[in-house]
Chains A and B, each alone.
Chain A
Amino acid sequence: MLNASLQELASALADRRISSVELTRSALDRIAAENPRLNAFVHVDEEGALAAAAAADARLAAGEAGPLTGIPLAHKDVFCTAGMPTTCASKMLANFVSPYDAHVVAQLKKAGTVLVGKTNMDEFAMGSSNESSHFGATRNPWDLARVPGGSSGGSAAAVAAGMVPVATGTDTGGSVRQPASFCGVTGIKPTYGVVSRYGMIAYASSLDQGGVLGRSAADCAPVLSAMAGFDPRDSTSLERAAEDFGRDLDKPIDGLRIGLPREYFGAGMDDDVRAAVDAALDTYRKLGATTVDIELPNSKLAIPAYYVIAPAEASSNLSRYDGVRYGHRAADYADLADMYCKSRAEGFGSEVKRRILVGTYVLSHGYYDAYYLQAQKLRRLIAEDFRRAFERCDVIAGPTAPTTAFELGSKCDDPVQMYLGDIYTVAINLAGLPAVSLPAGFGNGGLPVGLQLVGDYFAEARLLNTAHRFQQATEWHKARPAGAGDDEGSPT
């Protein structure tokens, strides 16, 4: 039943054909069975989940339910959850319990969802493979020797493996879309400012944005609608009216102009990815869309700009982890400086340290202009590229990542190679645009390939519509990795 759509689950819950407690129980069972080999969850709250499910059942019985009441979900461990560990998959916060809920967590709680646990991730959301987690790497359900992508790799693997129907993620440079692509699920990162960052532990504040991973665009839509909205506690949250992002799901896409950036289809993309993306574009043409060639001339500058801006912000954002008030503190130290050095040296992993060093460097006196200011200029150029492109098309399509999921350990010694995997995703964060990754077929070794759709600002409903029409016409999103369990009988 964990393979059913959210809509099917909601109607089964509403009709009392299944209870939220039963649904939650089956999610917990599945997590218990699968997590030892996948390591997708870093914390499971069985007791809390069952209590929340019982409360949801009461609301369902009283006829007070909404579309998400009683639906089990998981949060990426970057979101603060009161009374439950919030670790960012770091030793630094291994024992940290937040006294408050993130806005996203509170919103989804209010919507009646049942939080079953927290998912694994790259430490402080820094990474593209989930290998930098203090709690060990998450494995890709399609091939346990491969990474699930990152940094929301735990959420992607959990959804792919049928542990939960939906999970939250965050996306700073592709951290929702790339793991969605690697794990064969659908992921959406909305326009910067649509989802409050309050309680979402910061990696790079001007780029971080909360998102959703689910099995389909139709499943992502109501979750995004529930977690979005203006929050006065986040000064970068946009004052917009509440929105039903699923309102246009079924709209026909005849005449939709899909822009194909020349820069996204050049060298660097693996052939199997190219084949799947090309086939997906054919499907779109059959559905009545047209494709137009466009240019994003500054695309090649996105990775260098991103790897200046994101570490710069991170180096400052992570300064609060000093061992003084909470978090890891070294056991022995000679003085204050020694306490700082040892606590941070012990508490942070190597990728986090690398980015703190890079960020500190690019903000230093004498280097700021050459790196940080220059990167900000590139950022504006990149945003301008997109603005011009959207004069000629409605959505932009291309591969989410140049490859399918790679093998664990294969890129750990070569961070630049790892960073280059973000080539199609980081520009979208630099511009603050919304984007979706959806399953578009399989490449070599039966590994999922993701198609990325990028929309103009606030085009979330259109992106979900575009993705949903594709999913109405294809079966890719219904494919399940071996061991993820056959459909245990649709409740309908």
Chain B
Amino acid sequence: MATTAPNVYNQRTVVRRTRWQKFLANKKLWRGVTAILCTLVLWEIGSRWDEWFGFRLPFIGFIPPPSDVMVAWLEVLPKIGYWQSWYLSFKRVLAGFLSAMLLGIPFGLALAVNRYFRDIFFPPFEVLRPIPPLAWVPASLIFWPTNEMSIAFVTFLGAFFTIVINVLGGARSIDISYLRAAQSMGATQLDMFWRIVLPGTLPSIFTGAAVGMGITWEVVLAAEMISGGGTQAGGGLGFFIWNSYMGGSLEQIVVGMISIGIAGYLSSSAIRYLGTVCMPWRRLF
């Protein structure tokens, strides 16, 4: 008997699913899709209640139904102005966010590791921190020569304080055993900083970045609405919404809002992805 019996177990393990098949088989994906579809259906019913049953539901009755929003969206999609708005808002968010990271992380770490630095800079920082970024808008419109610069500045502030306070808290809460262990093995201050304090603070840096990114979007949008689409600082998704409001297009307002939601989701996904790349040891948790 030379024929070998078919090995069921081996055959089973040989079946390899493609990435796409795995993606589609993921229950998490389908739960999410179902949740979004249900929301859309409920929203559609709520908005059309007036048409179908003759009276308007409170709140939701005033919102255009998703089908109309979709139509409005398809209308703006090919227009360059809509994408211009995306581009401008993203540019501002990135500029503010990145400068806040670049200044905020070293500043927060310096506050954490140096007592004198902390004694001097922490009190003024704490006084400035509670001031909402939007309260800076009038002053920065006066200080900065262009609208664009004042928007960037206000955006920067929104993320900066959050990032600094997270970095400071994170660096200060590193388990003292790590520092002692490193020290007792003969680490210099510099070694301790690069190989203990910095990686120990990374989780907090990413938390700060995620929260800061959210605030940045809020601030950019509000600043765009306030500064308006004048000659200098035109466009942006904030202005897109404001413009739709002035033009009386409810559908376009909702298009703008959902666009912001998507933009924010993309930004925080990017941060989460970076987080897993920079902190491989955190994938275990």
A is bound by B: no
| B residues in contact (CB < 8 Å) with A | none
| A residues in contact (CB < 8 Å) with B | none
